[in-house]
A = this chain, B = another copy of it.
Amino acid sequence: MTQARSREGTPGGSAGSQTLSRGIRILEILADAREPLSIDEVARRLGVHRSIAYRLLRTLEDHGLVVREADGRVDLGARMAALAAGVAHDLQAEALPELTQAANDLGMTCFLSILDREECITLASVEPRHGVASVAQRPGTRHPVTVGAPGKAILSLAPEPSWPEGLDDAHRADVRVARERGWATSHDEVIAGLRSIAVPLRLPKGERAAVAVVYLSDPHPDADIAARLTRVAAAITSAIGG
């Protein structure tokens, strides 16, 4: 080992185990990529030598978390879903039917986001079957809570002092408005040209979440959409016993 093996990894996070951390980052890379990756590509994105990625991937494969395509490329395996199935399943099972209804009613992509640390992660997303402009909001995507309607809706559930430092004045104002009326909006925040409306939601274990829609053009008044989302949130909350 030449040198410079000083656990750089993620700047802020001084993890405990380098090997495990790298293995997890491989999973994150594959989840992000959304398509099979070659081992070389994984090694490149991970910033390590090929043989390291190779061994790590073999271990992941042994556990079924990673599968190999016929051409040798690797991708997340079915067992990955099985591992996580227990975590948020009750939530998804109850939320998806409601989201589907709302998505079809409104003709917009409708999704559920949950707060994890300082990030919003999309847990479930449904596109309308016959939507006008179907905007994909793929599950697993993350953005900082500080941007987007779901983030603002989620923040509106918590007292102002707890809001993250990185929240600028304009967004702070938005969150205050969201708290007053019960729903948040965003324009051009996450993706240029897209608008979003979100309603906050509190889960049984106390996690903060939000149901939201994204759309390009707005066939319905904001308040109508918000009202519909509020019903969705209420349905989910009562279904899972919030």
Interface residues of A (CB under 8 A from B): 13, 15-17, 19-25, 27-28, 31, 34, 55-56, 58-60, 62-65, 76-89, 92-93, 96-97, 100, 114, 116-117, 121-126, 138-140, 142, 207
Contact = CB atoms under 8 A, between A and B. Distances in A.
A218 to B, nearest CB: 24
A138 to B, nearest CB: 7
B89 A84 contact: no
Contacts of A82: 31, 116, 121-123, 139-140, 142
B87 A80 contact: yes
Nearest to A239: B129
A92 to B, nearest CB: 7
A81 B123 contact: yes
Contacts of A117: 64
A118 to B, nearest CB: 10
Nearest to A89: B139
8 contacts: A17-B55, A17-B59, A24-B59, A76-B86, A79-B116, A79-B121, A86-B140, A92-B92
Contacts of A121: 78-79, 81-82, 85
Given A80-B83, A84-B83, A122-B85, A24 B60 contact: yes
Is chain A's binding surface mostly helix, strand, loop or mixed?
A: helix
Contacts of A34: 86
A114 B83 contact: no
Given A92-B96, A96-B93, A100-B97, A83 B27 contact: yes
Given A76-B84, A83-B28, A140-B85, A59 B20 contact: yes
A59 B62 CA distance: 21
A27 B65 CA distance: 11
Given A21-B59, A56-B17, A100-B97, A31 B124 contact: no
A54 to B, nearest CB: 8
A123 to B, nearest CB: 6
A121 B16 CA distance: 32
A174 to B, nearest CB: 24
A65 B25 CA distance: 11
Contacts of A138: 86, 89
Contacts of A13: 62-63
